[in-house]
Chain A
Amino acid sequence: MRSGHLALSARGVQMQYRDRGTGKTLLAIENVDLDVPDGAFVSLLGPSGCGKSTFLKIVNGLLPATSGEIKLHRVAKGREDAMVFQDAALFPWYSVLDNVAYGLVCAGVTRGEARRRAAPFIELVGLKGFDDKYPYQLSGGMQQRANLARALAVDSAILLMDEPFAALDAQTRELMQAELLRIWNAAKKTVLFVTHQIDEAVYLSDRVVVMAARPGKVIADIEIDLPRPRPLSVKRTPEFAVYEERIWRLIAGEYEQARAAPDAAS
């Protein structure tokens, strides 16, 4: 699975906004370097406002970075990257099958061919038999499965996931985390996963990249050395708790600093 290639290599990525009200320039992301090896599961973890979703959008090409460089591993067919959106972001006027096929349609594949190629991914994410249903007929968890299938279907080198389980209830979220690991293992994908939940990042990842806010920057890069496959019961082990504690201290420490000097960052 690990071929030694880098699926993603980011160097010195900066993002500045000009505040329309004050005219001041705000630094949203400061000098982020990140390497994601082929086949790895890497999480970007941080509080809201740390620019982790913005970074994902820059990688996806939805936003232009102010400066820096993004290199994505080229693949012979398909896109380099595919996004799994935060709110499932399915089209209410399309069936599940047409929604999952849409990424391929964007790549210029004809609708019939796109549907044919999308079908196995609907099965992979556990939505078999729901092809003709519409998004409003699905639960939140099932909508996220379709969202994931749409990104898997374009066969990209890296999967970008923007807090895909944030809106789900606690039980469904845990179930989806386990499902994601099963699918990740079956599809042999590289994943860059954005979340603000420490346990989610530790449970899923090979590496957790911790970010701090104002300006968004990387403050730690932690290898998660828990054996795979990981059943959900891993979350109840002492080793897991140690990782959680360590990351929590990092984030809490940053928070204390920011409170002590609220204007230092601007």
Chain B
Amino acid sequence: MIAAREAPAVQLLGRLRSRNERVFYGVIGFVGLTLAWEIAANSGLFRKSLLSTPSAIWKAGVTDIGAGTLWPHVATSLEEFAIGFIVSLAIAIPLGLAIGWFRRIDYLLNGLLAALNATPNVALIPLIILVAGIGFESKVIVVFLSTFFAVVVTTFTGVQSIARRHLEITRSFGGSRWLAFRTVALPSTTPYILSGVRIGAGRALVGVVSRFDVWRPELHR
């Protein structure tokens, strides 16, 4: 009966761990890093003016949320993200499928897309500012571009990776190419599309918080 003598807190931890190991250890990792950071800052390991502390960030966050100054910014960012992301997917997925499925569309666009994909988004930002300014539209364009190529390339790769023998089945039984597209190409490409969407979402989040205000003259007076 050793377990019965353990402190209630330890018993609780044991129960939580056995319920969901993934969440349990995930929380430990997060809390552990936060504590280590706080302790390191307070012990004078680095200057707080260079790298803030978790407790200071928490306080600032509470103040901002309380004052209602955070939500409008979050809402704007979310809107920019949603529009850019959805429009991007709506064009990139069909385009990636078309390039993968039709040889001639591949020949037509592949070199062009490879060149554009190799262009860093940062290099395009001045151009985007010239065309769309520094407001809502330009952020949407950055989100769009951040997502677009990741999704086109992974979707295209997915179509290229369809097992030949699977396509042979449809042909062997006299099915049309359109049937092969719907019943073979789409299901086997779906995992690739989803991973493209995931990568694209990550890049788009970076895009939406990118600092256009570097070019805002009122900040440089």
Please give the residue numbers on chain A whose beta carbons come within 8 Å of chain B beta carbons, in ascending order.
60-62, 79, 82-83, 85, 87, 89, 91, 93, 102-103, 105-107, 154
- CB of B172 within 8 A of CB of A91, answer no
A91-B173 contact in complex given A102-B183, A105-B183, C-beta closer than 8 Å: no
A62-B165 contact in complex given A91-B187, A106-B179, C-beta closer than 8 Å: no
- Docked pose: A102 CA to B175 CA in angstroms: 9
Q: Which of B166, B174, B184, B188 contacts A107 (CB 8 A)?
A: B174
Q: Smallest CB-CB separation from B174: which chain A residue? A: A106
- CB of A102 within 8 A of CB of B165, answer no
- Docked pose: A6 CA to B102 CA in angstroms: 40
Describe B's contact surface by its main secondary structure.
helix
A6 to chain B, nearest CB (A): 21
B174 to chain A, nearest CB (A): 5
- Docked pose: A107 CA to B179 CA in angstroms: 10
Complex interface: chain A residues within 8 A of B170 (CB): 106
Residues of B165-208 at the interface with A, using a CB-CB cut-off of 8 Å, are: 165-166, 168-175, 179, 183-184, 187-188
Q: Which of A87, A93, A107 contacts B173 (CB 8 A)?
A: A107
Q: Which of A79, A85, A93 contacts B169 (CB 8 A)?
A: A85
Q: Which of B165, B175, B187 contacts A85 (CB 8 A)?
A: B165
Q: Which of B172, B175, B179 contacts A62 (CB 8 A)?
A: B172
- Docked pose: A33 CA to B170 CA in angstroms: 28
**26 A-B pairs (CB sep. < 8 Å):** A61-B171, A61-B172, A62-B168, A79-B173, A79-B174, A82-B172, A82-B173, A83-B172, A83-B173, A85-B168, A85-B169, A85-B172, A87-B165, A89-B169, A91-B166, A91-B169, A91-B183, A91-B187, A93-B187, A103-B173, A105-B179, A105-B183, A106-B179, A107-B173, A107-B174, A107-B175
Complex interface: chain B residues within 8 A of A102 (CB): 169, 173, 183
Q: Smallest CB-CB separation from B190: which chain A residue? A: A93
- CB of B175 within 8 A of CB of A60, answer no
- Docked pose: A184 CA to B157 CA in angstroms: 42
Complex interface: chain A residues within 8 A of B184 (CB): 91
- Annotate B118-152 by CB proximity to A: 1 below 8 A, 0 otherwise: 00000000000000000000000000000000000
- Docked pose: A62 CA to B169 CA in angstroms: 10
